[in-house]
Amino acid sequence: MTRTRDFLPLLLNLPAVILLVAFIAYPIGISFWMSLHRYNLRRPDQVYFHGLENYATILASPEFWNALWISLYFTFMAVLLVIVIAMAIALLLHESFRGRGVVRALLLIPWAIPGVVNGLMWVGLLGDYGAFNAMLEDTVATVNYLFGINIVYTGMASPFVALNAAIGAHVWRSVPFACIIFLAAIQAIPTEQYRAARVDGATSWNRFRFITLPWLYHAVLVVAIFETMNGFRAFDLIYALTGGGPGDATHVIAWQTYKEAFARLDFGGANAYSYLITLITMTLAIIYIRLLYRRGLVQG
């Protein structure tokens, strides 16, 4: 009887365990195993184990390092902008004003747009006949006129514009989610603390700095980790918006992985790329957590 009772919980958990193993553990394991093989679909008869060769090849290739630096820049800018903009909007939406509910609902729209659609929308805005493109072109023309200089505006054909436009489009889509997290965190701050601070004569900046911000560190950590992963995985947007160009200006690491897998059909190399991305994002997440924990800003 006791034995049956001990066995029953295990049995009841078995379906969930089977699903987890089948859909999570097995793919992760097989993908790592494939990363240790020469496995190019163009030569299916030449699949063989070759240890860490794929990793060594990737680490020795200039394409990887270029993609890594671009991804780091992309991610750093994206995380920074998302945190700053989302926090500002969250603070604004925390205030009482007419139509706040509608604005909060509208805020979610960018988040609901799929990445590729977001990319195509920005292609429209930043393309030759796009509104943003026209604004930028006119701005450059005005600067040229005012300062008597001759900056040639080349739009998305400029590597600088293309990369930063991609970051802008990514941020636009990511802000709503971060904003919701910040808003939830702000609403959890006890109002007594603000009242006490007001009694003590604290300015609004000081109230933000010494009450709001410390209460938001946990949310900042969550957003930072989440956005770092998102930044490193940015692919669909790049695919639709820039196609990796001009030159290699927007060759982020996820784009490089896609090219390995589907342009070169090198599934061994592509899996190795994926593991390197995982390793990098995990390292960054650990750094974030360590930094904030060490400063005692986030409680366990």
Partner 1 sequence: MTRRAFLQSSTAAGLGLMAGCNPAPSPGVIFKGWVYEPDLVRENLDYFERQTGIRVDYNAVSGNYHDKMVALHVGGAPMECCYVRDDDFAEWVEAGWLRPCDDLLDADPETSATTADLFSYNLSSMTYGGERYGLPYYTDFNIWIYNAPMLEAAGFDAPARTLDELTEQAVKVREARVRTPTGDLIEYPIMLNFRQSVLGFLDWWTLNYASEATLFDDDLNPTFPDDEDRRAETILQWLTDGIHRHRIISPSSLTAGQMRDHVASGRQVYGILNKYDLEYVNNRRNSAAADDELKRRGSDAQHAKVYRMAPVPSISAEQNGTLGWTRMYCLTSRCREDRMQDAWALMKFLGAKDAAGEYYTARRWFRLRGLGFAYRSLLDDPDIVAQTEEWGEIDKVREQSRHVRPRENIKAPWFPDFKIYYQPEIQKVLLGQQSARDGLGKIAQRCRQLIADWS
Q: Which of 30, 108, 157, 196 binds partner 1 (CB under 8 A)?
A: 157
Number of alpha carbons in the 13 Å side-chain half-sphere of residue 260: 27
Q: How far is the CB of 6 from partner 1 (least distance, A)?
A: 23
Structure token pair of residue 220: 């900042």
* Beta carbon nearer to partner 1, 219 or 240: 240
Distance of alpha carbon 136 from alpha carbon 142, whole angstroms: 10
Helix/strand/coil for 18: helix
**Could you tell me whether strands 37-38 and 48-49 are parallel, antiparallel, or unpaired per DSSP bridges?**
antiparallel
Instruction: By CB under 8 A, tell whether 155 contacts partner 1.
Output: yes
Count the Cβ atoms, other than its own, within 10 Å of residue 29: 11
Q: Which of 259, 271, 274, 281 binds partner 1 (CB under 8 A)?
A: 259
Instruction: By CB under 8 A, tell whether 245 contacts partner 1.
Output: yes
Instruction: By CB under 8 A, tell whether 265 contacts partner 1.
Output: yes
Q: How far is the CB of 20 from partner 1 (least distance, A)?
A: 17
Instruction: By CB under 8 A, tell whether 247 contacts partner 1.
Output: yes
Instruction: By CB under 8 A, tell whether 84 contacts partner 1.
Output: no
User: In terms of C-beta distances under 8 Å and separation of at least 24 residues, what long-range contacts does 41-44 make, across chains too?
Assistant: 41/265, 41/267, 42/265
Site mask, partner 1, residues 107-136, x = CB under 8 A?
--------------------xx--------
User: Which candidate, 168, 209, 187, 172, places its Cα nearest to that of 90?
Assistant: 187
* Beta carbon nearer to partner 1, 42 or 294: 42
User: Which candidate, 73, 131, 42, 25, places its Cα nearest to that of 249?
Assistant: 73
Instruction: By CB under 8 A, tell whether 292 contacts partner 1.
Output: no
Q: How many residues bind partner 1 (CB under 8 A)?
A: 27
Chain positions contacting partner 1, by CB under 8 A: 41-45, 127-128, 154-159, 162, 242-248, 251, 259, 262-265
